[in-house]
Amino acid sequence: MMISRAIAAAAFLMLAADSAAAQSIASRVAAVRDGKVRMTFASRDDICGFNNGISTTSSNRTNNRSTWSGDRSEDVEYDVECSEGPARVVVEKSAGRVTNVKAYVGGRWRASSSATDLGAVSTKEATDWLLSLASSASSKVSGSAIFAMTLADSVRIAPSLARFAENDGNPEEARDQAIFWLGQLRGESTELLRGLYTRLEREGLKDKVIFSLSQQRGVNDEWLLAIVSNPRESIEMRKKALFWAGQTGASMSRLSSLYSRLTEREMKDQMIFVFSQRREPAAIDKLMDIARNDPDRETRRKALFWLGQSKDPRVATMLSDIINR
């Protein structure tokens, strides 16, 4: 299968070299005032398409980033449950403006007498054009163009996505998309996202970076906890980082140690909540310790509240002891 895909990808590149020699994608799309423009390019080998979605074949996760709705796509038809390559992109235009971008994988084009078909294009030219479109289009089109880029095979898009996400002039919805997909890419994305976080100003986007990195379980725990400990970060970003560190497996010993160094009430409350979401006995131990010994009465009350939600028999004994004092 891999050999056949390699041959197919090579064939696409050869066709693209011939067809794109005379005109760029930009000029060919610009020549269409109204209607649809189609193009195909080599897709990644870990994705496949079906009637209303795109799946990642390296896991059981469905992509759910499809750009159409319903059980039947209007541009592509499928004969198999999950069809491998190529990537298919449909650009919809009205009065000379791009109004929508749809991306598919595999299948075959539905018959159309009006669509302009550019044929096979190179992944490099396709992703360069899509990135340019994303930088100048509406939020809806921009986000869809970013998604379409992520389907391309044998082209390095991570640095381009990072630069796009950093640029305040780009639509925020599309910057969100760029950050999300950076988190999904294999290889270098971790370091690019960490560097991007330090350069972003909008907290909504920084939140997206924290979430994306948190999904790489076990890799970014210390990075997240460094944000929690950093007084120069906003309380909200510190709370977000703490929540995801707790959700993705930061050790209880590390979290407990950090709790003792926190001074802000909001951060201590968030840490207590994080402890309450853990299932290991050490989390209950820490909550009981806080309930008994923390010097702040309100903090002790918060710990008692969450302990009251636990079915651990040790909690019932402790609560009985407190009541009977």
At 157-203, the pLDDT tens digits run 999 999 999 999 998 888 998 999 888 876 668 899 999 999 999 99
Given the structure tokens 């391309």, which residue do they identify? 152
The verdict on residue 246 lying in a domain is no
Contact present, 261 and 287 (Cβ < 8 Å): no
pLDDT 10s digits, 230-265: 999 999 999 999 999 999 889 999 999 999 999 999
Which pLDDT value is given to residue 166? 94
Whether 228 shows a pLDDT value over 50: the answer reads yes
Q: What's the whole-number average pLDDT of the chain?
A: 86
Tokens describing residue 142: 């921009």
pLDDT level of residue 58 (50, 70, 90 thresholds): low
Of 73, 93, 122, the last residue of a domain is 122
Q: pTM of the full predicted structure?
A: 0.78
Structural domain contains residue 7: yes
Q: Is residue 188 part of a domain?
A: no
Q: Is residue 215 part of a domain?
A: no
Question: Does pLDDT of 139 surpass 90?
Answer: no
| Per-residue model confidence (pLDDT) at position 271 | 97
What gap in Å lies between CA 243 and CA 207, rounded to an integer?
12
Residue 319 lies in a domain: yes
Task: Look up residue 74 and give its amino acid.
Answer: E
Residue 71 has pLDDT above 70, yes or no: no
Residue 207 lies inside a defined structural domain of this protein: no
Residue 317 neighbours by CB under 8 Å, 6+ apart? none
Within its chain, how far is the Cα of 321 from the centroid? 48
Q: Mark which of 81, 101, 122 sits at the end of a domain.
A: 122
Amino acid at 47: I
> Considering only 5-19, 63-77, 117-131, which range has the smallest mean pLDDT?
5-19
Residue 138 in any domain: the answer is no
198/176 Cα distance (integer angstroms): 16
**Closest residue by Cα to residue 203 from 181, 231, 174, 234:** 234
User: Is residue 260 situated within a structural domain?
Assistant: yes
> How many domains in the chain?
2
Quote the tokens at residue 83: 């069809």
Q: What φ, ψ does residue 198 adopt, rounded to 5°?
A: -70, -20
Range of the domain at 282: 251-325
Domain boundary among 122, 137, 167: 122
Q: Which of 14-18, 82-86, 258-262, 316-320 has the lowest mean pLDDT?
A: 14-18
| CA distances in angstroms from 161 to 2, 52, 54, 176, 199, listed in the order given | 27, 25, 20, 10, 14
